[in-house]
Structure 1
Amino acid sequence: MRMIFGVVLLIGIALAGFAVHMTQNYVNQQKAALAAAQANNAPTVPTVGVFVANRKLSYGDELKLKDIVVAQWPQNALPKGVFQNVEELFPKDQPGKRYVMRATEKFEAILAVKITEPGKEVGLQSRLEDGQSAFTIKVDVSSGVSGFLRPGDRVDVYWTGKVQGKDNRDQRTVTRLIEDSVKIIAIDQSSNEEIQTSSIARTVTVAVTQLQGASLTQAQSTGRLNLSLVGQRDDSIAELIEVDQKQLLGIEEAQPVAQQEAEKVCTIRMRKGAETVNMPIPCAGG
């Protein structure tokens, strides 16, 4: 009896195992069929080859051919300024080394805005556009936004000084916005945008036109300059801004009171007995 029970138990276990095996095969077949169907229905995205960094590149590094590799990039999502062939990146008609101006991570696309032009050293000249020059502004902890400025930031420049009053005698102290949204290209002696530590700058160099440079020179020699950091998304157009002490404190100038013209009185001297008196008479032409 025990033998028959054991045989039946073994047969049951074998059948259960067979059923589990068949179920697992069926599930695997369904998964494979579903994956194949999804692969056939997936849209094909066209790609093109672009140069990417094969290692992390830091500010000031020389860009060499061994530092780049070709990677496939979606054709409809190409960043502006990518390079797709060696002739574009290292043109034969423009010999010279190229340097990294902004840190680039491994497998990040090499972009034109992140490297210098062939033959140009990394520094101020690579950050100036046509018609621009570099102008240095002296700053301290209060006028230089307490060390939070970085190359690449934009600032408004305010001038504080004395101007002549309306009567050319009285002087008043005013603060006026003289330049708006000028680009910083260097802090002290560094044009590295990847500086992470804050420090109190002594000079800030900005990119300006010749006219702006002349205005800043005059302003710096006749008063005090202060910088105000502009937000990254601030596209507002600056208007004429000027504040003096009276406007700051809300003091209104007293308007001069017009003096009433005294009524004209005409008299004539007459003698009454021993006395001489002035008698009023109508004025001529009145």
Structure 2
Amino acid sequence: MRLVFGLVLVLGLGLAGFAVYMAKNYIQGYQAQLAHERAQRKPNIETVNIYVAKNPLRYGDQLDIEDTALIAFPKASLPNGYYDTEDALFPNANSAPRKILRAIEPNEAILEIKVTKPGEEAGITSQLQKGMRAFAIKVDIASGVSGFLRPGDQVDVYWTGNIGRNGARTEGNSTGAVTKLIQSGVKLIAVDQVSNSDTTGAILARTVTVSARPQQVAALAQAQSTGRLSLSLVGAGDETLAEVIEVDQRSLLGLAEVAVEKKEAPVAKKQVCTIKTRRGGEVISTPIPCTN
């Protein structure tokens, strides 16, 4: 009986071991197939390491290596002006540090448009493109759009003054007091002493600084010295080309032009001078040259 019991025990242990072996193989095979399926379903996204901010960076802050980190970014969604090497972002071991032009949040990509060139300060000179000049325009609460102007906005510039002397006309056939659009889509780079485009509070400015070509600067200077300039804020993303706009009082009120009749100058009568002489009972008139 003991022999039979021993054989049964050994047989049972063998069957149990075989079952465990088969179950293990089945589970391993299932896990391998599941991992293979997951690998196939996983999107194959190519990435590039780019520099991002580690800490919040604000206008005027100095950009140091400790403030940045390299992270993987999808190659298909890379923004323009990113930095992917230390030499590009920190040339010459950051001997001439960059400054922050626009606020950068943690894990946000550091872009060319948001930092100055190496060694430059975060002033308006860093916002002037090649060939452009800075020009200041005097404004008040009305002509400055009630404090809603911000650096980076675009404005149309209107001139109001008196034109047309001695009956002269402009191209718009206007005379006297007139308002005319002289520049459109001009970019603001500073409002009073503020050049930070991240400013959110209202600024009741006395001057605004615009970026303009030298020819535009000359036109604005001439207009400012001969009349009053007003600004009109252009909507974000509005690329509409403004038409020629010129309004005088006559066209504003819809008054028709009254033709002025020209009066002919009176014709001067020719003066005749005579001398009268009496011959007996007859009086004779003799014409003579007039002395007066």
Q: TM-score range by the shorter chain?
A: 0.7 to 0.9
Which amino acid letter does the alignment assign opposite residue 54 of structure 2? N
**1:35 to partner: Cα distance:** 7.8
Q: What per-residue deviation string (whole Å, max 9, x for no partner) do you get for residues 117-165 of structure 1?
A: 0111000110001111110001111000000010000000000000015
Once the two structures are TM-superposed, the CA of residue 52 in structure 1 deviates from its matched residue by 0.3
Separation in 1, partners of 2:67, 2:254: 63
1:1-286 maps to which residues of 2 (within 5 A)? 37-92=37-92, 95-165=95-165, 167-168=167-168, 172-255=176-259
Q: Give the secondary-structure state (helix, strand or coil) at the position aligned to 1:238.
A: coil
> Are the structure 2 counterparts of residues 38 and 246 from structure 1 closer, same or farther at C-alpha, using a change threshold of 3 Å?
farther
Give the CA deviation at 1:64.
0.3
- Please give the alpha-carbon distance, in whole angstroms, between the structure 2 residues aligned to 1:94 and 1:129: 24
Could you tell me which runs of 5 or more consecutive residues in structure 1 were left unpaired when the two chains were aligned.
1-29, 260-286
| Deviations, residues 167-192 of structure 1 (Å, cap 9, x unaligned) | 24996000001111011000101101
Q: Counterpart of 1:122 in structure 2: which amino acid?
A: A
Check conservation: 1:136, 1:206, Cα contact below 8 A: yes
Decide whether aligned partners of structure 1 residues 36 and 255 sit closer, same or farther in structure 2, where only a CA change above 3 A counts: farther
Does the Cα contact within 8 Å between 1:81 and 1:111 map onto a contact in 2?
yes
CA distance in 2: counterparts of 1:183 and 1:190, whole angstroms: 14
Which stretch of structure 1 is more off in the superposition, 33-42 or 231-240?
Answer: 33-42
Aligned partners of 2:94, 2:64: CA distance in 1, in Å? 15
TM-score (norm: length of structure 2): 0.73
Work out whether residues 94 and 119 of structure 1, in 8 Å CA contact, stay in contact via their aligned partners in 2: no
Which of structures 1 and 2 has the bigger CA Rg? 2
- 2:278 corresponds to which residue? none
Deviation at 1:199? 2.4
| Contact kept in structure 1, 2:63 and 2:99, CA below 8 Å | yes
Alpha carbon RMSD of aligned pairs, Å? 2.6
C-alpha distance in 2, partners of 1:253/1:32?
A: 93
Q: Which amino acid aligns with 2:196?
A: N
Supply the distance in 1 between the matched residues of 2:81 and 2:125 (Cα, whole angstroms). Answer: 20
Q: TM-score, normalised by structure 1?
A: 0.75
Call closer, same or farther: CA 1:247–1:43 in 2, change over 3 Å. same
